[in-house]
């Protein structure tokens, strides 16, 4: 396996991975095809990773796990496929002095020097196991057939290809010619889930079929499959939904796929739209576990959480959660329902679509094609005598009117609205057509929210705020005395970004009698905002600053997300 076998054996023995007895026993089994190290690996005494880690430590070289990384195409293109296969290397990043390259044998200096000469550039080396190199060569440089073969065993244990469709049917028969495409699509889904992606974007361009994952709210380009496989991949996804037509390529279509990854149920919402180079596909990944967050996991500090817990236990009124698409409003609503879901309360939701089936809650699916709209559903569920109603979104006057009337007749109503901040929700409702006196009487509180990326806990380290950041966030030097400002250095777990996961920043506007009087007078948003500030409302940016000073997120994140917040 290695050029200097005796040195490798000595290293393994010195670090305590193998004993002299094990080495001697392996020597007795030499067969001319395997060396002693190979026999130790096959016998289970050590693994390839053990060997490469030990050699990396002796060479003072970092060891990485390639399988946990997502390497951008711009990096992969730095080494041609034939050269990567020939030298058994994978480029992983741009370093300070050169290209960072993963190798499995840090003792093979001749090969490393030859590659450096061929590329005419400096190389920074990191180590990984030969197995990871082989997987990486297939993943980033292989053909569809090679990728499918490599996934044959993995798919069997990771993903259930007997996919449950919307009507409970399952796909059981597979054409042998389609097997590589089926496995390739499965690999794409598995890879996205492992990377923590919220959606997969398959975009047909002029000369390539671009694949991007949205990870922690940021799109990252992945290694693209060959352009010639574009139609086959799109058709496979349509077949998996069980409801989309593979013959229809001129109109948008929507569907749903249910899969299991490591016995864990995952929903995929599929949307296609025709473009000038073919059909663009977006798969939204709905991990049911991620939707069932508790209130602390949403990102509340203890004071805001206490306030919010009190609000969601009110007997009646409307509680609105506002923000743009992708700001976590749905997760917040589910967390609210999960918190108040008790046997003595009847809870009914009206959703489009139902993103998570919750035990003990009556959930209604909107279906405009058969006339089951939000207003129709709401009128019916009021006759079901619920205590709590959750409306996915207030979109029109009819929905808003039923919601306000429900709140005035003893129901607690949760819903969402698309506005930039909390006070703006009031004029938005009035613009829809809600009478000011109804809005004033029914609204109890409005919470605006955004999502910011969390600093990776594995590579977080102390940092300092620059003058421009302090000026933008209006942070005084005195606030830094007890602060714990952090930044992510970048590691394998966060794919070098320095961030892992997201959390919310919030502004909570609780209405009082003065605010209701202002609503009846149709006061401007600015006046409502000033009154909210007098009542103690922290703005999105101010809540973000608290989380920067606590070392939970970065100043850059808060500045970019709350750029419109100047109060």
What is the tens place of the pLDDT at every residue in 278-323?
999 999 988 766 556 677 788 898 899 999 999 999 999 999 999 9
23 vs 476: CA distance, rounded Å:
64
pLDDT score at 480: 87
pLDDT score at 161: 44
Edge-to-edge strand list for the sheet holding 264-275: 218-221, 209-215, 197-204, 278-287, 264-275, 253-261
pLDDT score at 170: 41
Output phi, psi for 324, to 5 deg. -75, 175
Contacts of 266 (CB under 8 A, 6+ apart): 189, 193, 258, 259, 260, 285, 286, 287, 288
pLDDT score at 220: 87
Which token pair is 494? 């966060």
Which token pair is 544? 């973000």
219: helix, strand or coil: strand
**DSSP H or E stretch at residue 508:** strand 499-510
pLDDT score at 156: 46
508 vs 503: CA distance, rounded Å:
16
Give me the residues of the chain with pLDDT under 70, please.
1-3, 32-33, 142-179, 288-293, 563-567
pTM score > 0.85 for this model? no
With the C-alpha atoms ordered 243, 248, 252, 257, is the resulting torsion angle positive or negative?
positive
Output phi, psi for 293, to 5 deg. -80, 150
Distance of CA 461 to the CA centre of its chain: 23
The CA-to-CA distance between both ends of the chain, in Å, stands at 64
Residue-by-residue DSSP string for 419-488: -SSSTTHHHHHHHHT--HHHHHHHEEEEEEEEEEEEEPTTTEEE----HHHHHHHT--GGGGTT---EEE
pLDDT score at 157: 47
The radius of gyration computed from the CA coordinates of the chain, to the nearest angstrom, equals 28
């Amino acid at each position: 396996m290695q050029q200097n076998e005796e040195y490798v054996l000595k290293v393994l023995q010195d670090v305590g991975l193998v004993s002299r007895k094990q080495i001697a026993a392996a020597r007795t089994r030499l067969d001319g095809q395997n060396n002693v190290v190979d026999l130790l690996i096959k016998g289970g005494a050590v693994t390839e990773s053990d060997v490469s880690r030990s050699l990396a430590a002796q060479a003072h070289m970092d060891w990485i796990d390639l399988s946990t990384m997502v390497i951008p195409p711009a990096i992969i293109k730095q080494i041609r496929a034939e050269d990567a296969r020939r030298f058994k290397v994978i480029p992983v990043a741009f370093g300070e002095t050169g290209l960072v390259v993963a190798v499995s044998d840090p003792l093979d200096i001749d090969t490393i020097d030859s590659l450096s000469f061929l590329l005419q550039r400096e190389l920074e080396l990191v180590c990984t196991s030969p197995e990871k190199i082989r997987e990486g060569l297939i993943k980033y440089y292989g053909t569809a057939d090679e990728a499918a073969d490599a996934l044959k065993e993995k798919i069997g244990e990771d993903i259930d290809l007997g996919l449950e469709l919307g009507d409970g049917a399952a796909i059981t028969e597979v054409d042998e010619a389609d097997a590589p495409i089926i496995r390739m699509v499965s690999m794409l889904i598995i890879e996205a889930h492992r990377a923590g992606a919220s959606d997969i974007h398959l975009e047909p361009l002029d000369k390539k079929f671009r694949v991007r994952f949205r990870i922690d709210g940021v799109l990252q380009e992945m290694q693209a499959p060959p352009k010639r496989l574009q139609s086959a991949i799109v058709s496979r996804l349509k077949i998996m939904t069980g409801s989309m037509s593979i013959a229809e390529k001129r109109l948008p279509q929507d569907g749903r796929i249910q899969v299991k990854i490591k016995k864990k149920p995952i929903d995929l919402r599929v949307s296609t739209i025709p473009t000038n180079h073919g059909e663009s596909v977006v798969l939204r990944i709905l991990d049911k576990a991620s939707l069932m967050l508790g209130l602390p996991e949403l990102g509340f500090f203890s004071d805001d959480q206490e306030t919010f817990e009190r609000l969601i236990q009110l007997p009646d009124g409307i509680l609105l959660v506002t923000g743009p698409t992708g700001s976590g409003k749905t997760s917040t609503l589910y967390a609210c329902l999960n918190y108040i879901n008790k046997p003595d309360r009847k809870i009914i939701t009206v959703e489009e679509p139902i993103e998570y089936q919750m035990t003990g809650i009556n959930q209604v699916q909107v279906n405009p094609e058969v006339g089951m709209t939000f207003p129709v559903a709401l009128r019916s569920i009021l006759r079901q005598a619920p205590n709590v109603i959750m409306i996915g979104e207030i979109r029109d006057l009819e929905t808003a009117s039923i919601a306000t009337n429900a709140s005035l007749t003893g129901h607690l109503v949760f819903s969402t609205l698309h506005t930039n901040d909390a006070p703006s929700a009031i004029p938005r409702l009035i613009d829809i057509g809600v009478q000011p006196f109804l809005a004033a009487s029914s609204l109890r509180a409005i919470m605006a929210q955004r999502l910011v990326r969390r600093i990776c806990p594995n590579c977080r380290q102390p940092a300092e705020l620059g003058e421009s950041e302090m000026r933008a966030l209006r942070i005084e030097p005195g606030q830094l005395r007890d602060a714990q400002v952090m930044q992510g250095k970048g590691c394998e777990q966060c794919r070098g970004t320095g961030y892992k996961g997201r959390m919310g920043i919030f502004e909570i506007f609780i209405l009082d009698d003065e605010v209701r009087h202002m609503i009846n007078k149709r006061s401007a948003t600015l006046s409502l905002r000033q009154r909210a500030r007098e009542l103690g409302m922290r703005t999105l940016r101010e809540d973000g600053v608290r989380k920067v000073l606590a070392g939970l997120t970065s100043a850059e994140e808060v500045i970019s997300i709350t750029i419109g917040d100047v109060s």
